[in-house]
A and B are shown apart, each in its own frame.
Chain A
Amino acid sequence: MAKIDILQPGLFSTIQDMGRFGFLNFGVPQSGAMDFYAAKIANLILRNKANDAVLEITQMGPKLQFSAATEIAIAGADLSPKINNDQVQNNSVLKISAGDTLSFGRRKNGCRTYLAIKDGFDTEYLMNSRSWYTGLTEKYKLEKGMALPYNSFEKSEPVTHSSVKFFSGYLDSRNIEAYPGPEYFKLCEAQRALLMETEYGIGRDNNRMAIQMVEPLVNDLDPILTGPVLPGTVQLTPSGRLIVLMRDCQTTGGYPRILQLSEKGISCLAQKVAGEKVRFTVKSQVNKKSAALALKK
């Protein structure tokens, strides 16, 4: 089988797909690509399946060498990718020959980019998923000297130009779209207004499990009886810390859940680095009739 040798691991790179489903009852996190949208686009460009495993690359890219011919595509943050010594573009089919190296340079925008390979990475498959997760899969991040297996692919006809369009506006957007969480209406009106008006800075504590906001939201909410949480759940701690749970989050938690990000909101937040500012925009979930059914009970 063909393989990619990891010459340099970069800051943090991990194999992910659309996540692990069917195991919430066992306390197993969902995992999966932080930015589903970019990961799906990378796969779509190669006519892969949406759930094929991709390499999630965070802020500083790795240096990789391919042992056999294939096609790749990169979508998400622009980390100035290079094949051998040539600059290449995100969002296009890139032809790889045996011995080629892929490296990255300056980060132009976003935080995470996705490397898809024709037919997906052929890495460890556990509990219906190839997503790496600490304590569950054998590996959880790229390390120097590691090898990633894939099936080589050679096409005789010239590469056809893909018509897949990547809408990159969200990479720079500051608006994080959310719905009211189960405990949203326990906040008083002033607190809800503050939650909307505040520009929140992305804290240094940010990883695949959670992203913390710098500015606190003073509150007197009681803890809840431990209940389900999801990627995109925004928890509010007694000290006022806003913790946005991301793909590797635990399955249950005891802090009030004040917001639930939309998928778009999760993708947008996944593209922010420490120090950037964001704002939450809360939209109501459904039409008036169902909102009454759902929220006023």
Chain B
Amino acid sequence: MTKDFPIIRPMGERAILIEFQPEIDEEILQKLLAVKFLVEDFYIKEKVEVTNAYNSLLVFYVSGIEDVYGELSKLESLMNGAKIGNKIYGKTYYLPVCYSKEFGLDLELISEKNQLSIEEIVSLHTAPFYTVYFMGFLPGFLYLGGLDEKLHISRKKEPRMKIEKGAVGIGEKQTGIYPQPSPGGWQIIGNCPVDFFDKNSLPPSKISSGDMLKFYAVSKEEYTGISEEVKAGNYELKVKDNHGEN
């Protein structure tokens, strides 16, 4: 078998999978999104749903694929026509995080294991512009790229039975926010009071694959203030359109 990417193949009776090189890489994400938008434009939304992970694109046919070979050929020619190189600029979302000890259950553990002061952890975590690769695991759970190596830390051996909604955590090379209470094994460093996934809105989240995310630290008082605004429904997500400055 040769290893020429992208690989395109059926995945059961209702989906076709397109895979690029298995790496977490922004260039691959760009290629993937270029193809994704082409495929989305080509099909009727009610019939086909296109979703991506780090290096793969899933084309899902709501009522099944009638002619697998025909669909594979169609997708191949769409891919060949994809103009890759026009960078897709998403948006940058700014999310407040309270890194107090009350929320940051594992700050001290990371501080000890990774030989960093808590201030250093916070500044390393708030410095990068994280790339949003995709959502998965739980509704609204963001897979982010760009965590500083100094913050990489293994998961808990015994996962916690309940992690609070909004908890910001680190697991191996990844960082993310729990969009709803759930069991979980990540090391928790803070809490984000902002709802960026709302099951009652369409679409349920403004953030999508290809966007950027930046965290900024807030005090407990600011956190409480933002929480109240969120509850009252008048909190506005801080967002900036990107035109290549990142």
Measured in the bound complex, the distance between the Cα atoms of B12 and A257 in whole Å is 11
On chain B, the residues within 8 Å of A230 by CB distance are 11-12, 14-15, 58, 60
Contact flags B130-158 to A (C-beta < 8 A → 1, else 0)? 00001111111101000000000000000
- The answer to whether B45 has its CB under 8 Å from any CB of chain A is yes
Minimum CB–CB distance from A266 to chain B (whole Å) comes to 9
User: When the two chains form their complex, are residues B51 and A25 in contact, meaning their CB atoms are under 8 A apart?
Assistant: yes
On chain B, the residues within 8 Å of A224 by CB distance are 22
User: When the two chains form their complex, are residues B49 and A228 in contact, meaning their CB atoms are under 8 A apart?
Assistant: no
On chain A, the residues within 8 Å of B50 by CB distance are 25
Minimum CB–CB distance from A270 to chain B (whole Å) comes to 15
Question: Which residue on B lies nearest to A30, using beta carbons?
Answer: B60
Residues of A within 8 A of B (CB-CB), count? 43
User: When the two chains form their complex, are residues B19 and A136 in contact, meaning their CB atoms are under 8 A apart?
Assistant: no
Q: Which of B1-51 contact A (CB under 8 A)?
A: 1-2, 4, 7-15, 17, 19, 22-24, 45-46, 49-51
| Selected contact of B11 from candidates A26, A182, A226, A289, CB within 8 Å | A182
With A182-B11, A224-B22, A285-B68 as known contacts, state yes or no: A23 contacts B53, CB within 8 Å: no
Minimum CB–CB distance from B193 to chain A (whole Å) comes to 19
- The answer to whether A232 has its CB under 8 Å from any CB of chain B is yes
Minimum CB–CB distance from B57 to chain A (whole Å) comes to 8
User: When the two chains form their complex, are residues A297 and B17 in contact, meaning their CB atoms are under 8 A apart?
Assistant: no
Minimum CB–CB distance from A50 to chain B (whole Å) comes to 10
Measured in the bound complex, the distance between the Cα atoms of B11 and A181 in whole Å is 6
Minimum CB–CB distance from B161 to chain A (whole Å) comes to 15
User: When the two chains form their complex, are residues A136 and B139 in contact, meaning their CB atoms are under 8 A apart?
Assistant: yes
Measured in the bound complex, the distance between the Cα atoms of B60 and A263 in whole Å is 14
User: When the two chains form their complex, are residues B204 and A227 in contact, meaning their CB atoms are under 8 A apart?
Assistant: no
A selection of 27 A-B contacts at a CB cut-off of 8 Å is A21-B46, A22-B49, A24-B51, A25-B135, A26-B197, A27-B135, A28-B204, A126-B199, A181-B11, A182-B11, A224-B22, A225-B22, A225-B54, A226-B53, A227-B54, A228-B56, A228-B58, A233-B11, A233-B12, A251-B51, A252-B136, A257-B11, A290-B72, A293-B72, A293-B73, A294-B9, A294-B72
Main secondary structure of the interface of B (DSSP, over half): loop
| Selected contact of B12 from candidates A24, A26, A226, A232, CB within 8 Å | A232
Minimum CB–CB distance from A238 to chain B (whole Å) comes to 15
Measured in the bound complex, the distance between the Cα atoms of B52 and A23 in whole Å is 12
User: When the two chains form their complex, are residues B180 and A135 in contact, meaning their CB atoms are under 8 A apart?
Assistant: yes
Contact flags A126-153 to B (C-beta < 8 A → 1, else 0)? 1100000001100000000000000000
Question: Which residue on B lies nearest to A50, using beta carbons?
Answer: B63
| Selected contact of A297 from candidates B7, B12, B52, B135, CB within 8 Å | B7
On chain A, the residues within 8 Å of B64 by CB distance are 263
- The answer to whether B235 has its CB under 8 Å from any CB of chain A is no
Question: Which residue on A lies nearest to B142, using beta carbons?
Answer: A27
User: When the two chains form their complex, are residues B69 and A25 in contact, meaning their CB atoms are under 8 A apart?
Assistant: no
Measured in the bound complex, the distance between the Cα atoms of B75 and A294 in whole Å is 12
On chain A, the residues within 8 Å of B92 by CB distance are none
With A22-B45, A228-B58, A287-B69 as known contacts, state yes or no: A260 contacts B204, CB within 8 Å: no
User: When the two chains form their complex, are residues A286 and B12 in contact, meaning their CB atoms are under 8 A apart?
Assistant: no
User: When the two chains form their complex, are residues B180 and A263 in contact, meaning their CB atoms are under 8 A apart?
Assistant: no
- The answer to whether B203 has its CB under 8 Å from any CB of chain A is yes
- The answer to whether B62 has its CB under 8 Å from any CB of chain A is yes
- The answer to whether B175 has its CB under 8 Å from any CB of chain A is no
Measured in the bound complex, the distance between the Cα atoms of B9 and A227 in whole Å is 14
With A135-B138, A290-B68 as known contacts, state yes or no: A228 contacts B10, CB within 8 Å: no
Measured in the bound complex, the distance between the Cα atoms of B64 and A28 in whole Å is 20
- The answer to whether A179 has its CB under 8 Å from any CB of chain B is yes
Question: Which residue on A lies nearest to B6, using beta carbons?
Answer: A297
User: When the two chains form their complex, are residues B140 and A227 in contact, meaning their CB atoms are under 8 A apart?
Assistant: no
Measured in the bound complex, the distance between the Cα atoms of B58 and A233 in whole Å is 13
Q: Which of B169-199 contact A (CB under 8 A)?
A: 180, 182, 197, 199
